[in-house]
Amino acid sequence: MKQITFLTYFLLVLFAVSFSSCKKWLELKPQDGIVKEEFWKTKEQVKASVIGIYSSMMEYSSGSYGNPTNYVPSMAELFFVWGEGRADHVASATASSADDIALINANIQPTNVNANWRPFYRTINFCNTVIEKAPEVLANDNTFTQQQLDNYLSEALTIRALMYFYLARTFGDVPLKLDATLSDENITPIPKTPQAEIFAQIVKDLTAAEAKAVTSYGDVASDKGRVTVYTINAILADVYLWMEKYTESVAACDKIINSGKFGLIRGATQNGPAIEYNDAWFNTLYYNGNSNEGIFELQFSQQRLNPFFLIFSPATSARRWIAAADLMERVFTVDYTNDQNYDIRGDGGSVRAATSTVWKYVGASSTGAIRPLDQSYAHWFFYRYADVLLMKAEALNELGRGQEALDIIYSVRARANALAATDLTPAPTDKNLIQDFILEERAREFCFEGKRWYDVLRNAKRNKYERLGILLSMVSISVPSSMQQSAQAKFKDQNSHYLPIYLYEMQTNKQLVQNPFYK
């Protein structure tokens, strides 16, 4: 009986409640978030969205490493893996996943998690959203000026171009998405766009961005961590090099060089027979970052640690990537007769030779200990002044200005005290040897900075793959000896230089066509 009374009361209450206004009940707005109709009203919101683009590049990985079904690498990890994994500076370590080893062995399949481009398109969508929605704010916020809008747009356009630059160099043809995906209704499968068109779009975006960009934000961290005119020109120089447009590349480099805002951090100086080393070099350039040499760096901080501690971890049993065993002898060389004569970029700079540790991102100083986990905030270096110099040298050499190129190379070598054994002493007219020289110098200068694979590929593919041999001899070093011949034969197929489209993307977007090499 009691239960029935309760039921009656309950029904009565329900009846009473039903008289309340229905409006609130049917409203579907989330109570703990903002929807786009309410966003894009003030300039602060635009700024937050633009900064959000940068933070999205520092997102962490998801899933567990080594699990082929749920692991999605972080973007910073992919910068490293794409730029180094297939090249000859790194080797697998105790904890390397099967997918990482497959990359080294040139045995990549569409199931390889390293082919997952998700983090890049995620950031591209953030850029697209800013590009599409930020102009609407002009109408809503009177304090928001066209100038400010242009500055913000330049950042979004540049980062989008940078993302596509990575994608096009890594996958070849990729889908080109230039409008924002704001809700599920916007999701439409789109096919791949040829690599050349992607590059045309990149140049278009960067040129547009350059006209809108600032030269300085007024503080060092923003100048190195956000897009400036110099960031844009550095990317442009790189893009033009890739597109084999050398005059344009030199022009872009010159805009940075002539600004007088950047220089090389002093490393080593020849003082008579003795060499004086600047002990603070490592600390200034790599440990603290944002040095006078930096142009664009991913700003990891104590609040946003980088993922590298786990990847290059000090615990040898947990490391995923280590330096190739012969890196010191092959790339930097060692002066066995005089230990005071060394390349600062070698032992203690890029690598800790005794333990084969990738030192650049985890070392606390060139001689000291490893960073503790809570200090693991070494930046990721997209572009440094040294890069601009060597890019210019590469372009000059292609333009037949070998002597100017050599002058630049030797200035970069002198800063680091590159050993005489690595000096190829090319004649100013010997274009091929200067190409080799620049490539080797870049290997030393940007060791582990995610550039090696792209450098080798760019040089190999120049003039319709005139120098494929560079790539083939590199792969004969980097793959295990039992697969050397197979790997070489694979690399003779130009399609093999680009990663496959990840299986998940193939399954969800039926418009995509797999790279024919991965049949």
Partner 1 sequence: MKRNIVLALGSVAIIALLMSAPGCRKIKIEESTTGDVNIVGYLDKNLDSFSLFRQILERTGNAAFLNAYGAYTCFAPTNSGVKTYLAGLGAASVDAADLNTLKDMVRLHLLSDTVYTNSFTDGKLPVITMYGQYLVTSVTNKNGVSSYLINRQGTVLRSNVRVGNGIIHVIDNVLKPAVKTIAQQLEENPDYSIFVQALKETGFYTKLNTVDSDTSKRWMTVFAESNRALADSGFVTYAALKAKYSKTSSPTNANDSLHIYVAYHISQGLKFLGDIISTPTHETLQPQEVVSIKLIDQQVLLNQDEFNGVLEKGVVLNRDKSDIAATNGVWHDAAAHFMVKFRKPTALYWDVSSFDEIKKLPAYYKKANYTFSRATEADQPIKDHYWGWGPLASTNFLQYTYSAASSITNYAYNADINMVPLGLPNRPPWWEMRTPPIVKGKYKVWVCYRQQKQSSSSNMLCQVSVNGTIMQRTMNFTDTRPAGTDSELEAIGWKRYTENTSSLWAARQVGVIEFTTTKQQIIRITALSGTQNNNNLDMIHFIPIDQDQVLPRFRPDGTMIYQ
Question: CB 315 → partner 1: shortest distance, Å?
Answer: 6
Which one among 143, 336, 374, 464 touches partner 1, defined by CB under 8 A? 336
Q: Which is nearer to partner 1, 173 or 205 (CB)?
A: 173
Map the footprint of partner 1 across residues 442-481, applying CB under 8 A: 473, 476, 481
Under a CB-based contact definition with an 8 Å cutoff, are residues 163 and 211 in contact? no
Structure tokens at 435: 């190409």
The answer to whether 507 contacts partner 1 (rule: CB under 8 A) is no
- Identity of the residue, 190 or 420, whose beta carbon is nearer to partner 1 in the bound complex: 420
Minimum separation from the CB atom of position 498 to partner 1 (A): 13
x/- map, 109-138, partner 1, by CB under 8 A: x-----------------------------
Minimum CB separation of residue 386 from partner 1 in Å reads: 25
Integer Cα distance of 233 and 253 in angstroms: 7
CA distances for 209 relative to 150, 186, 391, 425, 512, angstroms = 8, 26, 21, 40, 30
Q: Are 506 and 499 in contact (CB under 8 A)?
A: no
| 334 lies in the binding site for partner 1 (CB under 8 A) | yes
Q: Does 4 bind partner 1 (CB under 8 A)?
A: yes
Under rule CB under 8 A, residue 519 binds partner 1 = yes
Three-class DSSP category at 272: coil
Out of 81, 203, 295, 328, the only residue in the binding site for partner 1 (CB under 8 A) is 328
**Sequence-distant (≥ 6) Cβ neighbours of residue 242 within 8 angstroms:** 165, 169, 199, 458
In this structure, are strands 274-277 and 351-352 parallel, antiparallel, or unpaired? Answer: unpaired
Q: Does 495 bind partner 1 (CB under 8 A)?
A: yes
| Smallest distance from partner 1 to CB 308, Å | 18
In angstroms, give the least distance from the CB of 3 to partner 1: 12
Does 483 participate in binding partner 1 (rule CB under 8 A)? yes
| Rounded distance between C-alpha atoms, residue 516 and residue 514, angstroms | 6
Do residues 495 and 516 lie in contact, with contact meaning Cβ atoms separated by under 8 Å?
yes
State how far the Cα of 327 lies from the Cα of 189, in Å rounded to an integer.
44
Beta strands in 42-191 (DSSP E): 90-92
Bridge partners (DSSP) of residue 276 are 269
Distance, CA of 72 to CA of 74 (rounded, Å): 7
Q: How far is the CB of 357 from partner 1 (least distance, A)?
A: 11
94 binds partner 1 (CB under 8 A): yes
Binding residues for partner 1, rule: CB under 8 A, are: 4, 94, 102, 105, 107, 109, 314-317, 328-329, 334-339, 342, 347, 353-355, 473, 476, 481-496, 516-517, 519
